[in-house]
Amino acid sequence: MSTTASLGVIGGSGFYSFLDDIEEVRVDTPYGPPSDPVAVGELAGRRVAFIPRHGRDHRYPPHRIPYRANLWALRALGVRQVLAPSAVGSLTPDLGPGTLAIPDQLVDRTSGRPQTYYDEGAAVHVSFADPYCPHGRRAALKAARSADWDLAADGTLVVIEGPRFSTRAESRWFAGQGWTLIGMTGHPEAVLARELALCYTPLCLVTDLDAGIEEGEGVTMDEVLRVFGENVGRLRSLAADIVTALPTERDCPCPNVLDGIDLPLRLP
């Protein structure tokens, strides 16, 4: 059985079951081990690699996830297109729990996370004006509409450091900027994918209204897990539909983002 794959998924442990004939692969990277051994399997005739973002036992909080190792390991196995399902909060009452959002923009409000592969040897500046793969987003939107999701076809995801949730004042400030979604894992994941010339497409499941948007006790982990658990099967099916719809040949801008740059390291 081949341990290579062209497509990758970074998500929750509930995604193991959408692959057939799984083989676990341990990948050594210059940045340490990934969150867990990579599960490589079949889906509709395509080879797919899966990494549980937080580890299968959820041992990595958002600010300690080995993001660099995860993306490097996927590329080392041949992955060039990545789907990234995650739970997010909503910064607007218009996007309630159970909504699927495919954001088109990202704002980084994290601190202290390693967020580049090119931190020595030479300065490397990659384009990140549009942080997500346009063809991946198109495939995701088409599949979500076909599956009759309550869908937000764009939006701005603000990524906070975590692991705590926002204060009401922070939440209202984020919403006041016009940002619509809030999460803890979308950065540096997206920029690291760009630095490896990978296509990266987020699938954001809204699990709650953020603290400044709704009165009450605020966001709780129980609420997030409950809503995510109620929707994970449907989200898993959607990811499978998108995987089968993604083109085998990439003609988006993502493969060419490093063209003309003298890289200080050799990519896998």
Q: Active-site positions?
A: 208, 210
The tokens describing 238, both together, are 């959607």
**Largest pairwise CA distance in the chain:** 53
Closest C-alpha among 73, 66, 67, 12 to residue 37: 73
Rounded distance between C-alpha atoms, residue 41 and residue 23, angstroms: 6
- The SS3 assignment for 96 reads coil
Residues sharing a CB contact under 8 Å with residue 126, sequence separation 6 or more, in sequence order? 191, 194, 195, 257, 258, 261
Would you give the DSSP letter of residue 98? Answer: T
Buried residues in 218-250 as b, exposed as e (16+ CB within 10 A): bbeeebbeebbeebbeebbebbbbbbeebeeeb
Rounded distance between C-alpha atoms, residue 154 and residue 152, angstroms: 6
Confirm if 211 and 219 have CB atoms less than 8 A apart.
yes
Closest C-alpha among 62, 152, 43, 53 to residue 101: 152
Confirm if 68 and 192 have CB atoms less than 8 A apart.
yes
Amino acid sitting at position 83: L
